[in-house]
Structure 1
């Protein structure tokens, strides 16, 4: 034993520090254990939550299959295992695929039938007359007589109207032969068709040019325009406007 001197203290023992609960080293060790325990709890909670979510999704999927598959939904009170559910679902999918293939085949047949019917309709339409429903000869002649009577009345009032009628007569003939008055719908439809075919500029230009050429070569409009009033009156009073386009209708030269 070494003597102790008054006023001196012995050095601290390391073993005492380690065993002292108030030692700083002892605090760090306890904190590490606490953190490790918290991490373990967090991982366990996360794992449990993921497992519950997975099981919920599986249950939701099987419930959806029960509602979609008719062989399962028709027996809601019977407990069906998951294996049976999957088997019934596979059978139902196979059945639906077969029905889909059958419907696709029927739809293809209907499309082919529609195409054949359209071809037959087009063939029938091509066999119809270009002017639509045939117009009776009696009605055609009656309209022509009405037109000539109107031309005669207007020409006797003003001989210039006769020149206008010569230009317009081909247009009237096409209208008289094409437009149908069987009903209001037929009148509108055939009139629009007539306008598209005969009243466009490409159709009017040659028609008017032909009428003017005929008027210029069969009347005195170029050689002696003063004869036109007499020619016009003679044409409408003889009952046949076409006769005025004959050279024999030209009056004798003035003395």
Structure 2
């Protein structure tokens, strides 16, 4: 290597520059010095800063104590218990809004109704609904029987109407009103004859006794039937001739 000259050798290793410098000496033997610099300049400094920040974050995370299995189970149990209580409270609130007797607050203290009172009044209201349902079923059964009876009456009336329609024309074989009056007149005449023959009007007490005695003897259903039958036979004989 010539005297008075310096040579520099650059070797690229993994993105870094290796710089080799030589300087002349009286013995013509070179002294070598090595220095390593970044090939990207300021980018190397940025990478170093990012690496330092990431290491700081990892250090902060590592400072927090990790939750154990028991702690996780305890936290999950607490969340589940709170959810269960919220559901129970929501159920009581809905029950209180549905049951009419639970709408008003406690009259004595003026505070919100307790859960025990909500349950008690709900039970009483359900028992009331059961009784009302039973009563309505009885009323419905009674109405069904009435409907059945009305249907039977309707069928009977329809039968009567059909029978009446099948009878002879109006006026044929019809008894005149004069004949009806004759039957009634003869029945009354027969009763009056027996009444006049057996009733005494000397005083009110005797009149009352005679009237009751006459009713028991001459106004029995069988006695009246015999009188009417006799009159009808006589009238029938008269009309046929």
How does the TM-score come out when normalised to structure 1? 0.35
Q: Which structure has more RCO (C-alpha within 8 Å, separation ≥ 6)?
A: 1
Higher percent of residues as strand:
2
Work out which of the two has the higher radius of gyration on C-alpha atoms and give 1 or 2.
2
How does the TM-score come out when normalised to structure 2? 0.37
